[in-house]
Each structure stands twice: as C-alpha cells, then as structure tokens.
C-alpha cells in the first residue's frame, strides 16, 4: 500500500483526526501500517499506538511516523477510535483506492475505453470527471445527469473568464503555448460557483490533454487530488486517446470533407458492428462561427447531452456522431433543439439516415451537413436526410439543367392536367412509390381515404398508361417515374 497524509485524512474521515499543520504538509508516503510497541521508528511505516487509559467514548489512539526530513517524528491523535478500528478503516480505504486504480488501468489499457476510465475515477471521488484533449475540448466523461451537465456547462458558464480559469496553466514561450501545471491543482471560475480540480496528461514532456474533477456532489478532498494524479500517471504512460490516430481521416479520404478529424471522435463513442449510428450537424449562425468560445460550448454540450456521442467543429458546422443504441435520433434532435433554444440560437439542425456501424460515416457526415443547410434555408427546424434526399440528388447531379430530358412525357402531361384541374395526381403517384406501393401509407400521407388512392391508381393506368397496381415495372422505370414526379413538382 502507498498512503499519503492527504489520503490518511480521507481514510479516517469518520473519526476526529488531530494533526498539526506542519505534520499535515509532510510529503511522506507510507508503505505499510504496524502496531507500535517499543520498536524503533522506521521510515515509510505508519505506526498506531493505542491509549489504554482512555476507553469508551474517550477512546484515543496516536499515529506515529518518521518524518520525510528525518528531523523528528511526526504525530497525530485520533479521537473515538481504537487500534483495530483504525487498521480496518485504513485497509478499507487502500483497497478501494487500489480497486479504482485497477479499474482505470483495465478500462484504459485493455479496453481502450476512456469513458470507462473517467467513470472509474468518478465512482471513487464521488463527483463527475471529464477528460480533455490537447485542444482543450472534452473527449470523454463519466456519467453526468442532464440537469447536472447543464449546471456544469450551462450558457451562463460560457464566458471567457470561466474558460480561462478552467484550462491548464500555460505561458507563451517562443510563440508557443507551454503548459506549466505540475500535479493536480484546484481551480474555479471567478465567482467560485464551479470549483474543480485538474491535472495535466504529459507524454515525453509534451502536453496531451488534462483530466478534471467537477465539485458537484461533495467537496473535493486532498486525498482525491492524489487519485486524480494517479489517473494522470496511468494516461500519461500511453496517451492513445489524447492524440491523433488518423482513423477517421482514412475513412473520409477523398470525400472532400472540411476540417481535420482525429481519434477524439471515437474516444467516447461506444459502438458495435450492428449498432445503428447517425450523424447530427448543427449549422451555426455566421456571427458565431468565428467565436471559438461559443463553438467550443456547443461542442461540449453535444457531448454531454447525447450519451456516448463524440463531436467536433467542421467549418460552419458542429457535427456529432451518435450511437442509436443509447439515444434514438428523434430524442437526440429534440435535446439539441432544446439546448439551442436555451442559448437563443436558431435551430439549424440536420441528421443523416441511420447507418450500420461506422463504415458509412463519410456519407452520414455529408448527408447531415446537407440536411442542416436545408434547415437553414427553411429558416429553422430539424431536418432528417430522408426528407431532402431528392434535393441532395438534384444538387449532386444537376437534374434541373436536364429536366426536359429526364421528365417522362406521361408525367409532364399529368402535371399539366393537375394545374388545369386543381388535382394532385403527381403528388399521389410520387407518394405511392416512396411508401413502397402501400395504399394505406399513401392515404395517410395525403390525408385521404384508401379508396381514393385506389381510384387514382386506376386513372393513372387508364388515362396515362402508368400501371403500378402490381409490381411489374422494372426498377429503372420506377426510378424514372419518381425523378419525373419530383422534378415536375419543382423540388
């Protein structure tokens, strides 16, 4: 066991520990605990001396050790505890601390699970834990309830002063940022409303990121600062989650995607081969895209609002990759819209279709970005890619330029008849194809009776020679009819 004076306070918190300020600052680390009789005091050992003269409610024990400077012996008194109680309390604490360290190593090294790493530390210290990469953006966090997340990172917290007080210490040296914080340090915003403790993650002297405990449920103790430093030691040995791996760059290569993507996208994204993932894109107002503080706030909140999601700014968009196993697309869009409303920002949100795994991530990004641009052009609201698929195809292939060559003559005549008679036969045919030739779904989409759809289909066959009552048409014919309908309707 390794136990510092700071941890000693936590381990014996249920008792009344009386220790002088000078002894409390002793940097000694205890390797083991022994009961003191008459032996000599050896360095690195915490001795427990029981006072037989004070029993019952006045039970008292004494702690004894050789100070790190070896000048004198360190001492402390513990009121209300006998030797056996102290040994049990110290054993319990050291076992829990060791279990925390083992869980962090298991999550970080074996499972490569930065989220689980944060959760293990959070369970030991009793407060939320967040890990940040070198760009000072969160890449993973312990479980944080939505209301607590808003308390930690709400709109009122998104101010320059708060951010400057919650980033690692740094100085400018040769036009570069040099991070100077050594060990865990307590920090807070100017109001003191959000105290935290943070420690840097360094690899061969290079700053890779930092880990932060937020004081939400209970005060952060000095002993928990030691646990925070232990977490940094684990991460610093192999900071794979805090540096670029090029994983997503290789998947998006050649797709013309704006911005750089790093492994931080996947550091917190739990996914399996058959999971349904999707991409959400938030189109930021022009006045916000150049405001790093506002952008970082949106990025941070998306990661907290959407369980196990990862997000990053890409151009004028903030993009999040979400696992549908943890939160459905509709619920996710509602949460993001509510958050933007709180910030009094316009709701320009797009979502890709649901994909299997991450193999089609590049397409999902493009589709979500396009849907967000459609949302912005419509002055707001969440838009799913399925709602604007034809507009995407139209932009991709420039169908309008070749409209006269693509639109089927029968559809052109049907549209002219609709405009003359005020009917909506083209809309009916389009809906019938898009719903998979379903009478019920088409009737529901157009708010008419099934018999009305059946009657119209008969008219299509008799008057225009288009028979879709049975699936005998080739796929190319059906596609041409669908494109013709969409172009004829001006979409």
What pLDDT digit, counting tens, does each position of 118-175 carry? 999 999 999 999 887 766 666 677 887 767 766 666 544 444 454 455 555 655 566 6
* Alpha carbon distance 30, 43 (integer Å): 8
pTM of the model: 0.56
DSSP 106: I
Mean per-residue pLDDT over the chain, rounded? 78
Q: Can you tell me the distance from the alpha carbon of 174 to that of 155, in angstroms, rounded to the nearest whole number?
A: 35
CA distance 217 to 206: 33
More confident residue, 269 or 302: 302
The answer to whether 62 and 75 have CB atoms below 8 angstroms apart is yes
Nearest-angstrom CA–CA distance, 487 and 407: 7
pLDDT per position as a tens digit, 328-384:
999 999 999 988 888 888 899 999 999 876 666 778 888 999 999 999 988 888 999
pLDDT at 22 over 60: yes
Q: Using CA atoms, how far apart are residues 303 and 430, in angstroms rounded to an integer?
A: 39
Q: Closest by alpha carbon to 320, among 365, 287, 289, 362?
A: 365
Q: Kindly state the tokens that stand for 36.
A: 């003191």
3-state helix, strand, coil in the chain (%, to 5): 45, 20, 35
Confidence of residue 317 (pLDDT cuts 50, 70, 90): confident
Separation CA 283–CA 139 (nearest Å): 21
How much is the average pLDDT of 197-218?
Answer: 85
Residues β-bridged to residue 132: 138, 210
If you average pLDDT over each of 78-92, 146-160, 299-313, which comes out highest? 78-92
Under the banding of pLDDT at 50, 70 and 90, the label for residue 304 is confident
Tokens (6 digits) for 394: 């139209």
What's the confidence (pLDDT) of residue 309? 77
pLDDT, tens digit (0-9, with 9 covering 90-100), for 216-261:
889 999 889 999 999 999 988 876 666 433 333 333 333 333 333 3
Residues 424-431 have a mean pLDDT of 91
Which band of pLDDT confidence, cut at 50, 70 and 90, is reported for residue 282?
A: very high
Rounded average pLDDT over 462-487: 77
Distances (CA, A) of 440 to 93, 168, 427, 429, 446: 65, 60, 15, 14, 10
Direct distance between the N- and C-terminal alpha carbons of the chain, in angstroms, rounded to an integer: 71
Report the alpha-carbon distance of residue 457 to residue 297 in Å, rounded. 53
Confidence check: pLDDT of 465 > 80: yes
| Mean pLDDT of all residues in 436-459 | 90
What confidence score (pLDDT) does residue 426 get?
A: 92
Q: In the predicted model, is pLDDT for residue 112 greater than 50? A: yes
3-state secondary structure 17-66: EEECHHHHCCCCEECEEEECCCCCCCCCEEEEEECCCCCHHHCEEEEEEE
- Label residue 173 exposed, middle or buried (CB < 10 Å: 0-12, 13-18, 19+): exposed
DSSP string, 262-287: -THHHHS----TT-EEEEEEEEPPHH
Which range among 85-94, 288-297, 387-396, 419-428 shows the weakest confidence by mean pLDDT? 288-297
Q: Tell whether the model's pLDDT for residue 442 goes beyond 70.
A: yes
DSSP states of 336-375: HHHHHHHTT---EEEEPPPEETTTTHHHHHHHHHHHHHHH
Question: What are the structure tokens assigned to 252, written together?
Answer: 């998006």
| Percent of all residues in the chain with a pLDDT value above 90, rounded to a whole number | 20
Joined together, the tokens standing for residue 83 give 């030797």
Q: Give the number of C-alpha atoms closer than 13 A to the C-alpha of residue 346, restricted to the C-beta side.
A: 16
Q: Tell me the three state secondary structure of residue 469.
A: coil
Q: Which residue has the higher pLDDT, 268 or 50?
A: 50
Q: What gap in Å lies between CA 22 and CA 75, rounded to an integer?
A: 10
Q: Determine phi and psi for 355, rounding to 5 degrees.
A: -110, 160
């Amino acid at each position: 066991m390794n136990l510092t004076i700071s941890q000693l306070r936590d381990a014996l918190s249920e008792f009344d520990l009386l220790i002088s300020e000078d002894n409390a600052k002793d940097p000694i680390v205890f390797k083991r605990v022994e009961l003191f009789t008459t032996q000599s005091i050896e360095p690195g050992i915490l001795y427990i001396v029981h006072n037989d003269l004070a029993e019952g409610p006045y039970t008292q024990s004494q702690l004894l050790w050789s100070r790190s400077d070896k000048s004198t012996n360190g001492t402390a008194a513990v009121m209300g505890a006998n030797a056996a109680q102290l040994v049990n309390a110290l054993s319990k604490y050291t076992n829990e601390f060791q279990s925390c360290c083992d869980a962090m190593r298991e999550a970080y090294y074996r499972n490569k699970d930065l989220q689980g790493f944060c959760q293990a530390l959070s369970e030991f210290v009793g407060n939320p834990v967040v890990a940040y990469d070198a760009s000072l953006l969160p890449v993973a966090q312990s479980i944080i309830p939505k209301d607590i997340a808003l308390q930690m990172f709400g709109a009122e917290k998104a101010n320059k002063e708060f951010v400057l007080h919650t980033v690692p210490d740094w100085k400018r040296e040769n036009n570069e940022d040099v991070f100077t914080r050594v060990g865990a340090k307590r920090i807070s915003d100017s109001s003191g409303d959000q105290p935290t403790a943070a420690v840097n993650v360094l690899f061969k002297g290079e700053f890779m990121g930092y880990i932060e405990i937020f004081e939400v449920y209970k005060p952060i103790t000095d002993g928990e600062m030691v646990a925070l430093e232990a977490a940094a030691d684990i991460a610093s040995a192999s900071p794979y989650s805090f540096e670029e791996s090029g994983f997503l760059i290789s998947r998006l290569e050649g797709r013309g995607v704006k911005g750089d993507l790093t492994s931080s996208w996947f550091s917190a994204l739990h996914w399996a081969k058959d999971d349904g993932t999707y991409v959400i894109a938030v189109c930021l107002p022009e006045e916000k895209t150049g405001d790093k503080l506002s952008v970082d706030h949106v990025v941070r909140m998306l990661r907290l609002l959407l369980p196990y999601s990862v997000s990053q700014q890409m151009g004028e968009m903030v993009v999040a990759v979400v696992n549908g196993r943890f939160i459905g697309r509709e619920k996710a869009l509602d949460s993001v819209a509510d958050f933007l409303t709180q910030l009094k920002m316009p709701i320009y949100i797009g979502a890709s279709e649901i994909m299997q795994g991450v193999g089609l991530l590049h397409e999902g990004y493009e589709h979500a970005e396009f849907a967000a641009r459609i949302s912005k052009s419509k002055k707001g609201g969440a838009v799913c890619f399925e709602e604007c698929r034809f507009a995407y195809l139209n932009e991709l292939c420039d169908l309008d330029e070749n409209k006269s060559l693509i639109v089927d003559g029968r559809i052109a005549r049907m549209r002219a008849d609709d405009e003359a008679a005020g009917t909506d036969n083209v809309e009916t045919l389009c809906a019938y194809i898009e719903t998979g030739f379903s009478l019920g779904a088409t009737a529901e989409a157009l708010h008419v009776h099934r018999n009305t759809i059946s009657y119209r289909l008969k008219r299509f066959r008799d008057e225009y020679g288009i028979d879709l009552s049975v699936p005998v048409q080739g796929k190319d014919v059906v596609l041409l009819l669908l494109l013709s309908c969409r172009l004829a309707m001006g979409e």
